[in-house]
Amino acid sequence: MHQTFDAALEINLLHANQAGADHNRAHFDEWGITCLNVMSSPGAGKTVLLERTLAALNQELKIAVIEGDMTTELDAERLRQYGVPVIAINTGRSCHLDSQMVSGGIHTLAQEYNPSELELVFVENVGNLVCPAEFEVGEHAKVALLSVTEGEDKPLKYPVMFQEADCLLITKTDLAPYLDIDLHRLESNVRQMNPHVRIIPLSAKTGEGLEQWFDWVRTQIQSLQIEELAIQA
């Protein structure tokens, strides 16, 4: 009986979150913004990846970041150094961003900047390999990071994140030679969960894979623009 109640509550919660996510996505669509939701366990390299990305693409694209952290603005402050709008959201005790929190971030963004001038919004989610994958925030695509230090079994143990991801970045590949990690097994475990996900091995330290990541980001923006043109035609 107790279990049934919990399941019903969870379905309602996710249903309400989904409605909010659809509303957020409608705002992004109206402004011509592509939104990418960046997720991983704590410390897999989300903020460093965004730092490298802002440094490389900031001249080419108008980018903003919605930065989710439980308590601090440490990551937001790191990213503000790249001169882009960064809206910080503290989730308090919650281990993920939800669509309502991101809605607040979107409205702050729209008050402080002209959102129609933006092309790309990254959402850096709270470091957690489980919950963020369950809660859409209005993104057009999900990016998951898994660092080589986490072990090749993680796609099997935490399947939802890997099933939901549109792009999986295997990060910190510069550290692989010092670890007992089997990268082929890791990739095959990812494929078992999600046969079609784009996988990019990447090191923010050496730069390996960064160009492929930037190209994937550009492709996301282009495919959304093509979709919009098709809708208008």
Ligand X SMILES: Nc1nc2c(ncn2[C@@H]2O[C@H](COP(=O)(O)OP(=O)(O)OP(=O)(O)O)[C@@H](O)[C@H]2O)c(=O)[nH]1
Binding mask 57-96 for ligand X (x = CB under 6 A): ------------------x---------------------
Q: Is 221 in the site for ligand X (CB under 6 A)?
A: no
Q: Kindly state the tokens that stand for 190.
A: 């990812």
What phi and psi values does residue 133 have, to the nearest 5 degrees?
-70, -20
CB of 66 to ligand X, least distance (A): 13
Q: Is 198 in the site for ligand X (CB under 6 A)?
A: no
Stretch that binds ligand X, among 16-24, 36-44, 111-119, 213-221 (CB under 6 A): 36-44
Stretch that binds ligand X, among 25-33, 158-166, 167-175, 188-196 (CB under 6 A): 167-175
Q: Is 171 in the site for ligand X (CB under 6 A)?
A: yes
Applying CB under 6 A, which of residues 203, 209, 217, 220 lies at the interface with ligand X? 203
DSSP one-letter string for the chain: -HHHHHHHHHHHHHHHHHHHHHHHHHHHHHHT-EEEEEE-STTSSHHHHHHHHHHHHTTTS-EEEEEEESS--HHHHHHHTTTS-EEEEE-TT-SS--HHHHHHHHHHHHHHS-GGG--EEEEE--S-SSGGGG---S-SEEEEEEEGGG-TTHHHHSHHHHHH-SEEEEE-GGGGGGS---HHHHHHHHHHH-TT-EEEE--TTT-TTHHHHHHHHHHHHHHHHHHHHHHH-
Residues 6 or more apart whose Cβ sits within 8 Å of residue 208: 173, 174, 201, 202
Q: Is 130 in the site for ligand X (CB under 6 A)?
A: no
* Between 35 and 44, CB nearer to ligand X: 44
* Between 25 and 172, CB nearer to Mg ion: 172
Applying CB under 6 A, which of residues 25, 46, 142, 154 lies at the interface with ligand X? 46
The residue whose Cβ lies closest to Mg ion is 47
Applying CB under 5 A, which of residues 34, 75, 139, 201 lies at the interface with Mg ion? 75
Footprint on residues 102-121 left by ligand X (CB under 6 A): none
Applying CB under 6 A, which of residues 127, 132, 138, 201 lies at the interface with ligand X? 127
Binders of ligand X: how many residues, by CB under 6 A? 17
Q: Cα–Cα distance between 136 and 163 in angstroms, integer?
A: 14
Applying CB under 6 A, which of residues 40, 99, 189, 220 lies at the interface with ligand X? 40
Binding residues (CB under 6 A) for ligand X: these are: 40, 42-48, 75, 127, 171-172, 174-175, 203-205
